[in-house]
Amino acid sequence: MKKRFLIFLLIIAPLCINAVHASEDNAKLQLLKEKHYETEGTIVTVKIPHVVNVKDDKVKKVINKLITQAIDDFTNEFKEFDKEPNTEHKLIADITFQNYDSDDKIISFAINATPIMADSDLQKKFYTVDLKTGEVYNIEHFLGSDYQNIVKKSVQQQIAENKEKYPNLMYFDEAVNNLKITNEQPFYINKDNQVVVVFNQFEIAPGYMSLPEFIIK
Distance CA 83, CA 98 (A): 30
Q: What is the pLDDT of residue 6?
A: 39
For the chain (length 217 residues), average pLDDT per consecutive 10? Answer: 41 43 81 94 95 97 98 92 74 96 96 83 96 98 97 97 92 96 97 96 93 95
Residue 67 DSSP SS3: helix
Strands (E) in the chain, as ranges, are 28-38, 42-52, 91-102, 106-116, 123-130, 187-189, 195-198, 213-216
pLDDT of amino acid 112? 98
Task: Identify the pLDDT of residue 23.
Answer: 64
pLDDT at 17: 39
pLDDT of residue 202: 93
pLDDT given for residue 80 in this prediction: 84
Which H or E run includes 198?
A: strand 195-198
Helix count (H) and strand count (E) of the chain? 5, 8
Pairing of strands 42-52, 91-102: parallel
The answer to whether the beta carbons of residues 181 and 190 sit under 8 Å apart is: no
pTM, full prediction? 0.85
> Which residues, other chains included, contact 97 with Cβ-Cβ below 8 Å and sequence gap of 6+?
29, 31, 47, 49, 67, 109, 110, 111, 112
